[in-house]
Amino acid sequence: STNPEVELARRGVSYGESYIFFEERPIVIQQTVQVFANAGYDMMLVTSVRPKVARERFGLDKGAEVFTLTGYNFPLGKMIQAVQDFINSKKAPLVSIGDLDNIIEHCGVDMTLRAVQQIVSMRKKKTFTLLISVDGGLLTQNVRDLLTGMMTEYKIE
């Protein structure tokens, strides 16, 4: 198997950055998370599916932390706190939010963007990688621009 660091470079991603993936289904983000996992980074998935399912989809072992968003109104405050605790307690943390559309559906665009902004701004205090996937086709150009203003757009081939 190839050296994970080489594979990350080939994909044009580097540790400590924030990337937004515009894709209908979170496929490329899952592959990218796997490469980071193989390179030994600490993993946290934020998802709306059960932890076991999330880990399987992303090909991660039990060591990966999973924060599951459930209920009618997703608890974004709790999610932000969980992310904060995770990055503060790990040496080389990576946080992946695999389905931003779902969060937007439950919480609305404004609250979701504010939550993303808060997580992105944690990078001022501590280095970590943030990967977020969203179906760009469902977003207005304005929302896309706000997201690409906060994060680097991952170029999907």
Domain ranges of the chain: 16-153
Q: Which residues contact 45 (CB under 8 A, 6 or more apart)?
A: 33, 54, 55, 58, 60, 64, 65, 66, 67, 96, 98
Q: How far apart, in whole angstroms, are the C-alpha atoms of residue 129 and residue 13?
A: 10
Alpha carbon of residue 76 to chain centroid: 14
Instruction: Give the long-range contacts of residues 141-145, CB within 8 A, separation 24 or more.
Output: 143/109, 143/113, 144/22
Q: How far apart, in whole angstroms, are the C-alpha atoms of residue 134 and residue 77?
A: 20
- pLDDT per residue rounded down to tens, the chain (157 residues): 578 888 888 889 999 999 999 999 999 999 999 999 999 999 999 998 899 999 998 889 888 999 999 887 789 999 999 999 999 999 999 999 998 999 999 999 999 999 999 999 999 999 999 999 999 888 999 999 999 999 999 988 7
CATH number for the domain running over 16-153? 3.40.50.300
Give alpha helix (H) positions in 59-155: 76-89, 100-107, 109-121, 141-150
What three-state secondary structure class fits 127? coil
| pTM above threshold 0.85 | yes
Nearest to 156 by CA among 137, 139, 142: 137
Q: How far apart, in whole angstroms, are the C-alpha atoms of residue 31 and residue 145?
A: 25
What three-state secondary structure class fits 107? helix
Q: How far apart, in whole angstroms, are the C-alpha atoms of residue 150 and residue 100?
A: 14
